[in-house]
Amino acid sequence: MDSPHEAEAYARADFAEVNQAFVERLLDLAGHLKSVKALDLGTGPADIPARIVRACPGWHVVAVDASRPMLDYAQKTIREAGLSDAITLVLADAKCTGLAPELFDVIFSNSILHHITDITRFWAEVKRLAKPEATVLVRDLARPASPQAARTIVSRYAEHESELLREEYYRSLLSAYTPEEIRVQLDCAGLSMLEVEMVSDRHMDIFGRLP
C-alpha cells in the first residue's frame, strides 16, 4: 500500500467491527497485563492500536508500517484521538524493523502476512523482538480453496466497498497463506509453540506465548 491512492482507500473503509473483534481477542490473551510494551506490525491507519491503548491505559504501542502515506493517516488518527503519548509510529519493514531485540511483552499484527513473500524473515523478526514469555497474536486472511471461492468471499463481505478495495481484497485472498503453510513456517522459525486456528470462514489466528 505504498501509493497514496491505496492508503486513502484503505483508511476510508470502515473496519470498525473487525478491528474491534481483533482487539477483543488480544485482550482475551493479554488484557490482564499491566504496563505493557506492545508492537503492532503493519499498523495501517493505527485504528487497532488506538482502540487498544484506550482500553488499556498502561500500554504503550510501537506501531510499525512500511508505507509513508499510511503512516500519515496513522499520525492523523493518533493526533485527533489525543494518543500521541501512548503510540509511537515507526516507518520500517516488519521483516527488519531495526528495533532492539527482546523489547516487547506483546506483539500483534492484523492483516499483513499476505503482503509478505519473504515470510521466514517476518517470523524471525517476531522471535527476535519478543521478550521471554511474550504474547503473540497475528491474524490474517487464509487463502480460499479456489479463485472462485475468493470471488464469493469478496461479494459476501465487500459488496459495498469501492472497486479498488474489492480488487485489493481479492488479490489479498489469493496471496494469503493456508493454516498448513503457516504451521510449516512456524516450525522452521522455532515458533512451534504458537497455535494456528481458523476463526472465521476467511481469517486465521496465530497466537500463544513464547517460552
Ligand X SMILES: C[S@@+](CC[C@H](N)C(=O)[O-])C[C@H]1O[C@@H](n2cnc3c(N)ncnc32)[C@H](O)[C@@H]1O
- Indicate the residue among 18 and 192 with the shorter CB distance to ligand X: 18
Note whether 205 binds ligand X by CB under 6 A.
Answer: no
Closest CB 55 distance from ligand X, rounded Å: 16
Residue in 36, 56, 111, 130 binding ligand X, rule: CB under 6 A: 111
User: What distance in Å separates the CA atoms of residue 54 and residue 28, rounded to the nearest whole number?
Assistant: 15
Residue in 23, 62, 67, 154 binding ligand X, rule: CB under 6 A: 67
Residue pair 158/165 in contact (Cβ under 8 Å)? The answer is yes
Counting residues that bind ligand X (by CB under 6 A) gives 22
Cell 516507518 appears where?
A: 91
Q: Whose CB is nearest to ligand X?
A: 44
Closest CB 151 distance from ligand X, rounded Å: 19
Distances 64 to 56, 94, 98, 143, 147 between C-alpha atoms, Å: 19, 7, 11, 25, 31
User: What distance in Å separates the CA atoms of residue 170 and residue 5, rounded to the nearest whole number?
Assistant: 17
Part of the chain binding ligand X (CB under 6 A), chosen from 24-32, 59-67, 149-157, 173-181: 59-67
Note whether 70 binds ligand X by CB under 6 A.
Answer: yes
Beta-carbon neighbour count of residue 129 at 10 Å? 21
Distances 153 to 78, 98, 181 between C-alpha atoms, Å: 32, 37, 21
Residue in 8, 72, 93, 181 binding ligand X, rule: CB under 6 A: 93
Note whether 94 binds ligand X by CB under 6 A.
Answer: yes
Secondary structure of residue 140 in the 3-state scheme: strand
**Contact footprint for ligand X (CB under 6 A):** 1, 10, 15, 19, 42-44, 47-48, 64-67, 70, 93-95, 110-112, 115-116
